[in-house]
């Protein structure tokens, strides 16, 4: 971004500096020389100021040099497609996935899974006491019927009643296991919204899509993973590397009963860094800059909810004070939203930085200005020691669409407000919840510090005491507290495809299934998955939706995740099964 504007001051004439009486007048040649020297200094100064202002041009290297393009490619290596070794019976499996018979069977299995309600709620009671948990017994029974070979050949264990862990034992114990994840639960369907659905939200099939709650979040992934394993069992595949499948049951309400308990169970068995790789739900395909990208989530933003409570004296509403507690809290909310506060910054560790390099290296429509800023980018550690200094690369990238900015900025959302119980009684206590997703390179402390400062100004204005995260509370005060589910940003998965490792296998598998013309790039999740509990088990976590339908490249949000008309393309689902069988076989041949 350039300067927003400047004011031209009116120039006034000046006689200039007076020469001493004894000084001779400068010759014309001397005047030209001085003008040249002063002009050179001015040009150097202007160049320095421009470089300082843009924070992007640390040297005078010409923009379009071959080394820039090579540097972009070095930051986004695209490995050759990786195909499993030839095996007649297993190769027939791949052919079978493309048949009408498998398609019909897969439609039936996924539709049946969606028809089994497995909703989770924020106010669930204890397992074994709250009957709403019992739906997961029904879902488990359905899986046992739909996948008989898996339940015959694999070790199936339940954790905390409803968590499911499948173990397919490999023949080589020196190879770390790979893990496939998904969750059994879905968000509820509000009864008042059912009439707004194009098809009933219970597994309807219209010839192209399966409709219903959980169809794309994420029973499609769960069923695809089981279908891939069932097919490999039918083809008499015997893995060298142990394959695990872990299915939580309360991902939509924090995962504490499901994924957290499962991860503890798995950790006790395999220990720190005991797994080779994890694949869980996440991002998938994206069209950008004239190219097709597949973007596994290799990092997640952090998370915290802040509760702001205003306590003020009650009384009869016929004699109100100038500002009630609701009014004071409303002013604080307005102040919070009017001062976004969190800068748009792109840390070197942020996977979106890698995606920009991929775009600059391979995409024909990559914006020229963005490429220029990227070419002269300093490292975030050196370029942004002064936090007040704008990150022009990030700011320019954020212009692309409303969502991109939140890949590079801590977000805030005022989501829930409560207060007041009677129309003629002044509210004595009102509370608002503000949700935050923390940018890569920042911590949750940034949020606490900022809200403490803003709340302090309002508290001072209305003569209230401020209790900011100190655990105290009193009348006539503003109280800041934090959720127990504070989550710092996730460790970033290594993504150098030039070296042998899980990411190279991931990228090579994706290019084998979907064409060598696609670009595989690291991506970032703005939300959190069940993998938040699995960080100690491996450094290699891919949050990825492998299903892609070239005739409908919509992502999950466009296909109704958490809202009406949730659906999944059957063609995309079939491709997910194809990707998963290829992935399991490729990982089985990897030596790390």
pLDDT digits (tens, 9 = 90+) for 188-238: 999 999 999 999 999 999 999 999 999 999 999 999 999 999 999 999 999
Tell the residue number behind the tokens 């797994």, with chain if given. 275
Instruction: Give the Cβ contact number of residue 175 at 10 Å.
Output: 18
Q: Count Cβ neighbours within 10 Å for each residue of 160-171 and write b for 16 or more, e otherwise.
A: bbbbbbbbbebe
In a domain, 187, yes or no: yes
Rounded to whole angstroms, the Cα distance separating 416 from 81 reads 48
The per-residue pLDDT for 380 is 65
Cβ atoms of residues 274 and 467 within 8 Å: no
Cβ atoms of residues 430 and 325 within 8 Å: yes
Tell the residue number behind the tokens 């401020």, with chain if given. 466
Q: Which of 225, 250, 251, 281 is catalytic?
A: 251
Q: What are phi and psi of 32, to 5 degrees?
A: -65, -40
The per-residue pLDDT for 68 is 81
Q: What are phi and psi of 451, to 5 degrees?
A: -70, -30
Q: For the chain, state the CA radius of gyration.
A: 29
Instruction: Give the Cβ contact number of residue 127 at 10 Å.
Output: 15
Q: Are residues 565 and 506 in the same domain?
A: yes
In a domain, 540, yes or no: yes
Token duo for residue 462:
């209305």
H/E segment holding residue 450: helix 444-461
The per-residue pLDDT for 557 is 60
Q: Are residues 330 and 478 in the same domain?
A: yes
Q: Are residues 239 and 331 in the same domain?
A: no
Token duo for residue 278:
């994890």
Q: Are residues 330 and 258 in the same domain?
A: no
Residue positions in the annotated binding site for Zn(2+)? Answer: 183, 217, 252, 280, 562
In a domain, 346, yes or no: yes
Cβ atoms of residues 278 and 493 within 8 Å: no
Cis (ω within 30 of 0) for the bond into 101?
Answer: no
At which of 482, 506, 533 does a domain end?
Answer: 482
Q: Are residues 401 and 268 in the same domain?
A: no
Identify the three-state secondary structure at position 374.
helix
In a domain, 313, yes or no: yes
Token duo for residue 514:
């979907």
Q: For residue 188, what is the domain's CATH number?
A: 3.40.630.10
What are the Cα distances from residue 590, in Å, to 475, 513, 541, 544, 585?
63, 18, 16, 20, 9
Burial environment of residue 267 by CB neighbours within 10 A (0 to 12, 13 to 18, 19 or more): middle
Task: Tell me whether residue 500 is one of the annotated catalytic residues.
Answer: no
Token duo for residue 494:
């290594």
Token duo for residue 139:
């879902």
Q: Are residues 443 and 517 in the same domain?
A: no
Task: Tell me whether residue 251 is one of the annotated catalytic residues.
Answer: yes
Residue positions in the annotated binding site? Answer: 183, 217, 252, 280, 562
Token duo for residue 311:
């306590």
Three-state secondary structure string covering 141-203: HHHHHHCHHHHHHCEEEEECCCEEEEEECCCCCCCCCEEEEEECCECCCCHHHHHHCCCCCEE
The per-residue pLDDT for 436 is 97
The per-residue pLDDT for 384 is 46
Q: For residue 352, what is the domain's CATH number?
A: 3.30.70.360
Rounded to whole angstroms, the Cα distance separating 94 from 165 reads 26
Rounded to whole angstroms, the Cα distance separating 260 from 246 reads 11
Helix axes 135-146, 219-234, angle to 10 degrees: 30
Number of domains present in the structure of the chain: 2
Strands (E), 75-162: 155-159
At which of 447, 482, 517 does a domain end?
Answer: 482
Rounded to whole angstroms, the Cα distance separating 279 from 541 reads 6
Q: Are residues 566 and 446 in the same domain?
A: no
Q: What are phi and psi of 436, to 5 degrees?
A: -130, 140
Q: Are residues 167 and 270 in the same domain?
A: yes
Q: Are residues 202 and 155 in the same domain?
A: yes
Task: Tell me how many degrees the CA angle 571-573-574 measures, rounded to the nearest 5.
Answer: 65
CA dihedral sign of residues 552, 557, 563, 568: positive
Tell the residue number behind the tokens 């949020």, with chain if given. 447
Token duo for residue 337:
């939203």
- Tell me, what DSSP letter sits at residue 475? S
Q: Which of 396, 590, 414, 430 is nearest to 504 (CA)?
A: 590
Q: Which of 185, 230, 300, 545 is catalytic?
A: 185
Q: Are residues 310 and 237 in the same domain?
A: no
Cβ atoms of residues 87 and 586 within 8 Å: no
At which of 482, 512, 530 does a domain end?
Answer: 482
Instruction: Give the Cβ contact number of residue 231 at 10 Å.
Output: 22
In a domain, 33, yes or no: no
The per-residue pLDDT for 26 is 38
In a domain, 567, yes or no: yes
Q: Are residues 275 and 208 in the same domain?
A: yes
Token duo for residue 544:
């990825």
User: What are the pLDDT digits (tens) for 241-275?
Assistant: 999 999 999 999 999 999 999 999 999 999 999 99
Token duo for residue 341:
């506060």
Token duo for residue 70:
């090579």
The per-residue pLDDT for 473 is 94
Rounded to whole angstroms, the Cα distance separating 399 from 410 reads 16
Cβ atoms of residues 537 and 312 within 8 Å: no
In a domain, 39, yes or no: no
Q: Are residues 411 and 548 in the same domain?
A: no
The per-residue pLDDT for 49 is 38
In a domain, 75, yes or no: no
| Regions of the chain where pLDDT drops below 50 | 1-64, 382-386
- Residue range of the domain that includes 359: 302-378+392-482
């Amino acid at each position: 971004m350039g300067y927003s504007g400047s004011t031209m001051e009116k120039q006034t004439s000046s006689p200039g500096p007076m020469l001493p009486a004894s000084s001779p007048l400068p010759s014309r040649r001397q005047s030209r020389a001085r003008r040249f020297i002063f002009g050179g200094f001015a040009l150097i100064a202007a160049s320095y100021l421009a470089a300082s202002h843009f924070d992007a041009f640390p040297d005078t290297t010409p923009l379009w040099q071959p080394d820039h393009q090579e540097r972009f490619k070095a930051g986004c290596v695209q490995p050759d497609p990786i195909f499993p070794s030839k095996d007649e019976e297993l190769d027939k499996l791949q052919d079978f996935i493309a048949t009408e018979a498998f398609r019909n069977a897969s439609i039936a299995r996924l539709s049946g899974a969606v028809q089994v309600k497995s909703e989770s709620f924020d106010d669930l009671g204890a397992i074994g006491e709250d009957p709403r948990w019992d739906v997961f017994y029904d879902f488990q029974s359905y899986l046992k019927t739909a996948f008989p070979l898996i339940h015959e050949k694999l070790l199936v264990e339940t954790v905390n009643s409803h968590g499911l862990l499948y173990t397919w034992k490999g023949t080589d114990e020196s190879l770390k296991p790979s893990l496939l994840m998904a969750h059994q639960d879905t968000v509820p369907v509000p009864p008042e919204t059912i009439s707004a659905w194009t098809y009933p939200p219970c597994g309807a099939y219209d010839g192209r899509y399966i409709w219903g709650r959980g169809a794309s979040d994420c029973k499609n992934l769960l069923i695809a993973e089981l279908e891939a394993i069932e097919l490999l069992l039918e083809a008499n595949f015997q893995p060298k590397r142990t394959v695990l499948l872990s299915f939580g049951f309360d991902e939509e309400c924090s995962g504490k009963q499901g994924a957290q308990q499962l991860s503890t169970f798995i950790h006790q068995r395999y220990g720190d860094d005991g797994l080779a790789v994890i694949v869980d739900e996440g991002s998938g395909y994206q069209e950008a800059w004239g190219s097709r990208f597949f973007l596994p989530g290799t990092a997640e933003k952090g998370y915290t909810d802040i509760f702001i409570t205003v306590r003020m004296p009650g009384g009869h509403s016929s004699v109100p004070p100038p500002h009630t507690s609701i009014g004071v809290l409303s002013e604080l909310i307005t102040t919070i939203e009017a001062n976004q506060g969190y800068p748009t910054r792109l840390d070197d560790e942020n996977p979106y930085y890698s995606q920009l390099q991929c775009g600059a290296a391979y995409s024909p429509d990559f914006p020229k200005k963005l490429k220029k800023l990227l070419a002269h980018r300093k490292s975030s550690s050196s370029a942004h020691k002064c936090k007040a200094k704008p990150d022009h690369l990030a700011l320019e990238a954020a212009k692309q669409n409303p969502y991109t900015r939140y890949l590079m900025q801590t977000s805030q959302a005022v989501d829930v407000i409560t207060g007041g119980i009677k129309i003629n009684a002044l509210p004595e206590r009102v509370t608002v919840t503000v949700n935050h997703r923390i940018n890569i390179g920042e911590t949750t402390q940034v949020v606490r510090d900022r809200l403490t400062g803003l709340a302090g100004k309002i508290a001072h204005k209305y003569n209230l005491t401020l209790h900011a995260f100190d655990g105290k509370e009193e009348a006539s005060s503003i109280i800041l507290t934090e959720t127990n589910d504070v989550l710092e940003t996730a460790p970033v998965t290594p993504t150098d495809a030039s070296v042998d490792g899980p990411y190279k296998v991931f990228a090579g598998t994706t290019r084998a299934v979907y064409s060598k013309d696609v670009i595989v790039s690291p991506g970032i999740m703005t939300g959190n998955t069940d993998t938040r509990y699995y960080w100690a088990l491996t450094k290699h976590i891919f949050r990825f939706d492998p299903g892609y339908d070239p005739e409908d490249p919509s992502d999950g949000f466009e296909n109704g995740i958490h809202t009406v008309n949730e659906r999944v393309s059957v063609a995309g689902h079939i491709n997910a099964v194809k990707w998963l069988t290829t992935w399991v076989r490729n990982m089985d041949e990897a030596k790390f």
